[in-house]
Amino acid sequence: MSLEEIKKDPFIKSLFDEGGIEQPSGRFTHTIIDTIKAQSKANPYVYKPVISRNAWLVIAFLGVSIFVYLMFVNAPEAQGLDLYGYSLKIDASKVQGFLSKIAFSFTLTPILKTSFLALFFFTFTNLVIFELKSRSFFK
Amino acid sequence: MKYQEDSFYINKVLKGNLPSYAILIEKHKGMAYTLALRIVKNREDAEEIAQDAFLKVYNSLSSFKQESKFSTWLYKIIYNTAISRFRKKQLDQLSIEDMAIPDSLQEEDHDGLDIMHLRERKKIISTAISRLKDDESTVLTLFYLSELNIKEIEEITGFTDSNIKILLYRGRKKLLFELKKILKEEIVDIL
């Protein structure tokens, strides 16, 4: 018997139609909805930041990359910065040029340079430590 | 109650409207429960499986891409839930009982059913269906009651095209055989 014949078999079709769709108990839907409600109470809304941790890492990496590019390129007009015994060559003109492009310009003083550097290192190292902790690299 | 398209309720549920999910359950619970019952052949278990399936569906509704029918997705979850819990037999094992099924059945068996009251007929038909193997009753139910096509049944059960056709053919024959047997038992009881 072909599939078409099986499909058209009126007797079998009528048996299934007559056997009908069975119905579960009257509380069926309520039980499911109650379970869903209980689930949502047991698992309250978990805060999800708009910018994910990974996105923050990428942003931090880009920030540091820009910072390194601007500050630590050995340009002829680079100024020396003595930082904890390390002599870093800072191209202040590049920073000024970059900042003047975005809105304003100012001259970097040594104190500002150090603060700027410290702030970047602090933020970046904290982000890296936080990320590594969350991935159980170390407890 | 006249229902809207499934996508209407699904979109509402995804926006956090739980009562819409209750409507979606009401719309599909009969077929979901019947399918589970055809596999496990026990009302309590079938109800539990259907409820579990509706919970699974709710929890993963956001991942449902609406490329296939909601009912197909739901039946697939019901089928897998039922099978993973209760299935012990291997597919395609042709038993001696299958071999004993006659190729053709007489018209008189149909007539026997015709003279019975509706409630009795329904009971006999349900009993006959429940005597089929779980894969046979599943495929027959999806084909004749849900009116799904072979491709959709393939998607739900994971059986091949030819496997489904064999199950349809074998299940149909066995159903008629079981009906004949039950009718004879009924007549003997009456006499």
What is the domain partition of chain A in residue ranges? 53-134
For each of chain B's 191 residues, which pLDDT tens digit applies? 788 889 899 999 998 899 999 999 999 999 999 999 988 888 898 999 999 999 999 998 888 887 788 999 999 999 998 888 775 544 444 444 444 444 444 445 555 555 566 677 778 888 888 889 888 989 998 998 888 889 999 999 999 999 999 999 899 889 889 888 888 777 666 65
When CB atoms are compared, the residue of B22, B47, B126 closest to A24 is B47
Break chain B into its structural domains and give their ranges: 6-86, 96-190
A5 touches chain B (CB under 8 A): no
User: What global pTM score does this model have?
Assistant: 0.59
B6-86: CATH class: mainly alpha
When CB atoms are compared, the residue of A3, A6, A32 closest to B55 is A32
What is the secondary structure of B130-163 as a DSSP string?
HTS-HHHHHHHIIIIIS---HHHHHHHH---HHH
A16 Cα distance to chain centroid: 53
Look at residue B134 in the predicted model and tell me its pLDDT.
87
Residues 6+ apart with CB under 8 A from B142: B35, B75, B148, B152, B153, B156, B157
Nearest Cα residue in chain A from B51 = A32
Give the closest-approach CA distance of B146 to chain A in angstroms: 9
Look at residue A99 in the predicted model and tell me its pLDDT.
63
B96-190: CATH class: mainly alpha
Beta carbons of A22 and B30 less than 8 Å apart: yes
Interface test with A, best of B27, B40, B47, B61 (most A CBs within 10 A): B47
